[in-house]
């Protein structure tokens, strides 16, 4: 049965895109932190949406469970197959085309296997910003970002993938394709089906493409590290920063003393001080660099006098 499945699959997407040798499938079997180890039947690397749809139909016919996998960076085992040897891992990395960049509409449509870093570069080439940014951006893929509803560093200002997505294309569990790729912002009609798939971790279908929002590129950034006594004080700071800088406040992270002590072990003096709690504040703006820095320094000085 599995021999027939694999040979039909090989005819469908090409034998070299159906990995079965232990060394070839090894990277797909283990979670990034090596806490989960699985054993798939094989790994399939389809190259087009049509191939994904055919693959899903075939898997349904042969009752083969599917495990979608993007960059395999999600660190919680959801992209790892179980140990039964029955599941087919579906790697989306060959779906890496740019379908459209519409700078006038501030949107771009990409296939799901485009890495996040590449998506940022595509936006930058059109003098736009795609604001999702995570430490794994060199490896994680747009499909994985959508399936996990990734947040990243600039959530305060731009939101998670839910807020960054205008349209989706998904292959459903029966092989039908739900095409809702659209750059329309004021879509007030009916249910917003795409939101079902965002954050669903591959349970409801395989995401093959998405239309994503773009923004004006910030021309200025200003950052500050501030030591505070406790989390309540940090929340006061967040409120005050929002009041003063509104949506120019781009990032606001809180780090414990233990976290910074650990970082100092690796980075030495790059960690300038260790307070009970440390805030990392980032502002960004389309105005000049000097003006933004000046505004932040002025505000910090005034607040220092208050405290």
Ligand X SMILES: Cc1cc2nc3c(=O)[nH]c(=O)nc-3n(C[C@H](O)[C@H](O)[C@H](O)COP(=O)(O)OP(=O)(O)OC[C@H]3O[C@@H](n4cnc5c(N)ncnc54)[C@H](O)[C@@H]3O)c2cc1C
Q: Which residues bind ligand X (CB under 6 A)?
A: 32, 67-75, 78-79, 92, 112, 134-136, 140-141, 143-145, 147-148, 150-152, 201-202, 206-207
Q: In angstroms, what is the minimal distance from the CB of 173 to ligand X? A: 11
Q: Would you say 71 or 131 has its CB closer to ligand X?
A: 71
In whole angstroms, give the CA distance from residue 151 to residue 172. Answer: 25
Q: In angstroms, what is the minimal distance from the CB of 283 to ligand X? A: 19
Q: Would you say 209 or 292 has its CB closer to ligand X?
A: 209
Q: In angstroms, what is the minimal distance from the CB of 295 to ligand X? A: 27
Q: Would you say 48 or 233 has its CB closer to ligand X?
A: 48
Q: Would you say 105 or 133 has its CB closer to ligand X?
A: 133
Q: In angstroms, what is the minimal distance from the CB of 64 to ligand X? A: 15
Residue with nearest beta carbon to ligand X: 144
Q: In angstroms, what is the minimal distance from the CB of 203 to ligand X? A: 8
Q: Would you say 112 or 296 has its CB closer to ligand X?
A: 112
């Amino acid at each position: 049965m599995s021999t027939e499945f694999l040979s039909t699959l090989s005819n469908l997407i090409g034998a070299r895109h159906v990995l079965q040798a232990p060394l070839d499938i090894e990277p797909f079997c283990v979670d990034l932190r090596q806490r989960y180890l699985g054993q798939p039947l094989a790994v399939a690397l389809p190259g087009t949406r049509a191939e994904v749809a055919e693959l899903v139909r075939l898997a349904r016919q042969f009752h083969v469970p599917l495990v979608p996998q993007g960059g395999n960076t999600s660190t919680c085992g959801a992209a790892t197959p179980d140990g039964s040897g029955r599941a087919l891992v579906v790697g989306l990395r060959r779906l890496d085309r740019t379908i459209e960049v519409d700078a006038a509409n501030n949107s771009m449509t990409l296939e799901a296997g485009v890495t996040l870093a590449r998506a940022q570069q595509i936006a930058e080439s059109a003098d736009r910003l795609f604001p999702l940014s995570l430490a794994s951006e060199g490896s994680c893929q747009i499909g994985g970002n959508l399936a996990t509803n990734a947040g990243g560093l600039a959530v305060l200002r731009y939101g998670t993938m839910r807020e960054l997505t205008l349209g989706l294309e998904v292959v459903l569990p029966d092989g039908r394709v739900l095409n809702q790729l659209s750059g329309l912002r004021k879509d007030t009609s009916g249910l917003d089906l795409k939101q079902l798939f965002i954050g669903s971790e591959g349970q409801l279908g395989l995401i093959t493409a998405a239309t994503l929002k773009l923004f004006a590129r910030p021309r200025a950034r200003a950052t500050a590290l501030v030591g505070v006594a406790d989390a309540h004080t940090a929340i006061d700071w967040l409120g005050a920063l929002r009041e003063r800088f509104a949506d120019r406040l781009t990032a606001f992270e809180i780090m414990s003393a233990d976290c910074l002590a650990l970082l100092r072990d690796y980075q030495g003096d790059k960690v300038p001080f260790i307070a009970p709690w440390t805030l990392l504040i980032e502002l960004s703006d389309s105005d000049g660099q000097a003006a933004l820095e000046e505004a932040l320094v002025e505000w910090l000085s005034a607040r220092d006098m208050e405290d």
